[in-house]
């Protein structure tokens, strides 16, 4: 019997041939001049593409204001669109499916990343606790953001629509709205970072408004069947976290379901914080199990999965697909390794962010049976 993790799955216009998804992973390897994807980025994604396999490309700012890290690719200039086209062409040449994650870092940016050195923006003038990285790659404290004015919101929402349209021009099969991990959309969602008194603050309905407005305009622009969204209901990344997230996220997921988006991508709370360290928060609720009854379309689960956990999540119906991050970095052929039960190459955390080919495109595939036989003589 074939494990369900390796059976086809309909995803909008595409049919995936397996359910092992590459999670969006910030790698900081775009060009320093213009934040443009390069041939090295195209090679990286092509190495991880499989026929009918879904890759979700790294978090990509929708505007210059949305940037918050060095050397991350954008999707808001003609040069960036052209750079991404070589990535999507390389993935499609391998038979892969690729979505782009649309991003705005909000208050966890730094003025050194902002046009004219302006303060980063957020829902309210409340600084996140902790440290970030400035444009010189030095650790610096988070700054107090400038609260976005109500009359700025339509243009902010439209920047996501434009980014989605440009993603399609760049050849992506769809987009994922980044509504998680303490970035701008989640900052609006949560009461610890949003103390507004206008239509975007206060009640749960108001705090969910930005997520829903962006999801609606993106779905209208490129089709709901090409629009996914990522959430982290119990997450604590980037000084996020809601005291009682269940009422908030129950409302949000139910309202997003009305828009008929092609997928919901959930980060399990046990894995929040793994971008910066190997943290496992045990004893946490299951995000997928909690929200599965509210979500009628594809549900992708992510966060700290191993092979057995992924097989079980899909077999039991808690998720339709499972996304892997760190092990997709060090195992470009991860779906095949998981299918045959091959050992996984360990990842090397110091090469995650920035640099060149080392720790990026130099991880080998697992030898095939023919290669193993040839090596054995």
- Selecting among 45, 183, 200, 327, the annotated active-site residue is 183
User: Which of 41, 135, 155, 151 minimizes the C-alpha distance to 88?
Assistant: 41
Domain span at residue 299? 4-375
| Radius of gyration for the alpha carbons in the chain, expressed in angstroms and rounded | 20
Domain count, the chain: 1
- 225-255: pLDDT as tens digits: 999 999 999 999 999 999 999 999 999 999 9
- 18-57: pLDDT as tens digits: 999 999 999 999 999 999 999 999 999 999 999 999 999 9
Q: Helix (H, G, I), strand (E, B), or coil: what is residue 321? A: strand
Please, which pLDDT band fits residue 275 given cuts at 50, 70 and 90? very low
Domain at 38, CATH number: 3.20.20.70
- 328-370: pLDDT as tens digits: 999 999 999 999 999 999 999 999 999 999 999 999 999 875 5
Under a CB-based contact definition with an 8 Å cutoff, are residues 152 and 104 in contact? no
- 160-217: pLDDT as tens digits: 999 999 999 999 999 999 999 999 999 999 999 999 999 999 999 999 999 999 999 9
- Please state, for a pLDDT cut of 70, what percent of the chain lies above it: 94
Q: What was the pLDDT predicted at 284?
A: 72
| pLDDT of residue 277 exceeding 80 | no
**Dihedral Cα 65, 66, 68, 72, nearest 10 deg:** -110
Known active-site residue 200:
no
Q: What was the pLDDT predicted at 211?
A: 98
190 Rama class: left (phi>0) / alpha (psi -120 to 50) / beta: beta
- 64-79: pLDDT as tens digits: 999 999 999 999 999 9
Mean pLDDT of the chain: 94
Phi, psi of 168 (to 5 degrees): -70, -40
Please, which pLDDT band fits residue 375 given cuts at 50, 70 and 90? low
């Amino acid at each position: 019997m074939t494990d369900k993790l390796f059976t086809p799955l309909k995803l909008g216009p595409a049919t995936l041939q397996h359910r092992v998804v590459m999670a969006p992973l910030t790698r900081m390897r775009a060009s320093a001049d213009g934040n443009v994807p390069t041939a090295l980025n195209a090679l990286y994604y092509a190495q991880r593409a499989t026929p009918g396999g879904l890759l979700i490309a790294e978090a990509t700012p929708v505007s210059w204001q949305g940037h918050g890290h060095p050397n991350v690719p954008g999707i808001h200039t003609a040069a960036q669109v052209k750079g991404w086209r070589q990535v999507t062409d390389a993935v499609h040449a391998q038979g892969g499916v690729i979505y782009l994650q649309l991003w705005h870092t909000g208050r966890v940016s730094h003025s050194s990343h902002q046009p004219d050195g302006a303060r980063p923006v957020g829902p309210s003038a409340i600084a996140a606790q902790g440290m970030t990285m400035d444009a010189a790659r030095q650790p610096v404290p988070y700054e107090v953001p400038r609260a976005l004015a109500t009359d700025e919101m339509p243009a902010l929402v439209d920047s996501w629509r434009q980014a989605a349209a440009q993603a399609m021009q760049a050849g992506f099969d769809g987009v994922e709205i980044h509504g998680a991990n303490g970035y701008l959309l989640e900052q609006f969602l949560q009461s610890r970072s949003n103390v507004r008194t206008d239509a975007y603050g206060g009640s749960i309905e108001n705090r969910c408004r930005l997520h829903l407005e962006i999801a609606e305009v993106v779905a209208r622009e490129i089709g709901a069947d090409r629009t996914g969204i990522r959430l982290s209901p119990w997450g604590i990344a980037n000084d996020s976290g809601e005291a009682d997230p269940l009422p908030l996220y129950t409302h949000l997921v139910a309202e997003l379901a009305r828009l008929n988006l092609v997928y919901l991508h959930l980060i399990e709370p046990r894995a929040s914080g793994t971008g910066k360290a190997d943290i496992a928060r045990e004893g946490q609720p299951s995000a997928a199990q909690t929200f599965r009854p509210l979500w009628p379309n594809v549900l992708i689960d992510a966060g700290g999965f191993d092979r057995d956990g992924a097989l079980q999540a899909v077999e039991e119906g808690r998720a339709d697909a499972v996304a892997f991050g760190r092990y997709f970095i060090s195992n470009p052929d991860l779906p095949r390794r998981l299918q045959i039960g091959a050992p996984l190459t360990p990842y090397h955390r110091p090469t995650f962010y920035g640099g060149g080919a080392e720790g990026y495109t130099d991880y080998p595939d697992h030898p095939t049976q023919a290669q193993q036989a040839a090596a054995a003589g």
